């Protein structure tokens, strides 16, 4: 990730906070508030660094110094929503993965600005190299974090030590992305437990 990006650290409750050594926290929050307001009022189409600067009564250079890219700013607004959700800890791997899929991914995106914002971020990453970098770094970070679900299951003896945590999480997240990007979140929410069971148990009765 670009060195002008915010550095973050995990806090006890699983949320992420900005260390923000290079930022004035008050102004940073004010700009994120303004960015969120611009998104709520005008949607993705009305979102620009100019519009956020106007709303925050800040100079454009100030915003660009902290967020070198429109997508980076959108992703920080998105991340702030995400942080209000506690991390799954149901006591079982199946419960945690279902919670990750239906509560933290599909349900989080469904019928909310978050889904629209995330779709726009993914879209921008397809044609803009800087947007792609920001998204790839965010994804790697989130998936490493979510892999703790599988690591906890290893510690409980639910799955063997050599289980590929990253791949299990990748399949859950991939399914969620695909449904988001096709606008099929409602149908996907109904499938969430079946998806997790397929990943954990495979195809029942498979003879291969």
Contact positions vs a second copy (CB under 8 A): 44-45, 92-94, 119-120, 122-127, 132, 135-136, 139, 157-160, 163-164, 167-168, 170-171, 173-175, 177-179, 181-184, 191, 194-195, 198-208
Identify which of residues 53 and 180 has a Cβ nearer to a second copy in the complex. 180
Identify which of residues 58 and 200 has a Cβ nearer to a second copy in the complex. 200
Q: Kindly state the smallest distance separating residue 27's Cβ from a second copy, in Å.
A: 30
Identify which of residues 15 and 139 has a Cβ nearer to a second copy in the complex. 139
Q: Kindly state the smallest distance separating residue 57's Cβ from a second copy, in Å.
A: 29
Identify which of residues 31 and 93 has a Cβ nearer to a second copy in the complex. 93
Identify which of residues 57 and 207 has a Cβ nearer to a second copy in the complex. 207
Q: Kindly state the smallest distance separating residue 141's Cβ from a second copy, in Å.
A: 13
Q: Kindly state the smallest distance separating residue 200's Cβ from a second copy, in Å.
A: 5
**According to the 3-state scheme, what is the secondary structure of the chain?**
CCCCCCCEEECCCCCEEECCCCCCHHHHHHHHHHHHHHHHHHCHHHCCHHHHHHHHCCCHHHHHHHCCCHHHHHHHHHHHHHCCCCCCCCCCHHHHHHHHHHHHHHHHHCCCHHHHHHHHHHHHHHHCHHHHHHHHHHHHHHHHHHCHHHHHHHHHCCCCCCCCHHHHHHHHHHHHHHHHHCCCHHHHHHHHHHHHHHHHHCCCCCCC
Q: Kindly state the smallest distance separating residue 173's Cβ from a second copy, in Å.
A: 7
Distance CA 30, CA 45 (A): 21
Identify which of residues 122 and 147 has a Cβ nearer to a second copy in the complex. 122
Q: Kindly state the smallest distance separating residue 118's Cβ from a second copy, in Å.
A: 9
């Amino acid at each position: 990730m670009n060195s002008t990006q915010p550095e973050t650290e995990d806090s006890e409750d699983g949320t992420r906070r900005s260390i923000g050594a290079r930022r004035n926290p008050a102004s940073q929050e004010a700009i994120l508030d303004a960015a969120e307001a611009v998104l709520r009022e005008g949607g993705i189409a009305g979102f620009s660094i100019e519009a956020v600067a106007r709303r925050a009564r800040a100079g454009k250079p100030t915003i660009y110094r902290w967020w070198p890219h429109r997508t980076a700013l959108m992703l920080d607004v998105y991340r702030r929503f995400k942080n209000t959700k506690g991390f799954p800890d149901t006591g079982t791997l199946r419960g945690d993965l279902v919670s990750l899929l239906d509560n933290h991914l599909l349900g989080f995106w469904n019928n909310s600005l978050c889904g629209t914002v995330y779709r726009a971020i993914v879209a921008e990453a397809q044609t803009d190299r800087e947007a792609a970098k920001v998204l790839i770094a965010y994804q790697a970070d989130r998936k490493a974090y979510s892999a703790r679900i599988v690591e906890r299951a290893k510690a409980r003896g639910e799955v063997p030590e050599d289980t590929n945590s990253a791949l299990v999480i990748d399949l859950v997240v991939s399914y969620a992305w695909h449904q988001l990007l096709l606008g099929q979140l409602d149908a996907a929410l109904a499938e969430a437990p079946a998806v997790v069971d397929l990943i954990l148990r495979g195809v029942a009765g498979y003879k291969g």
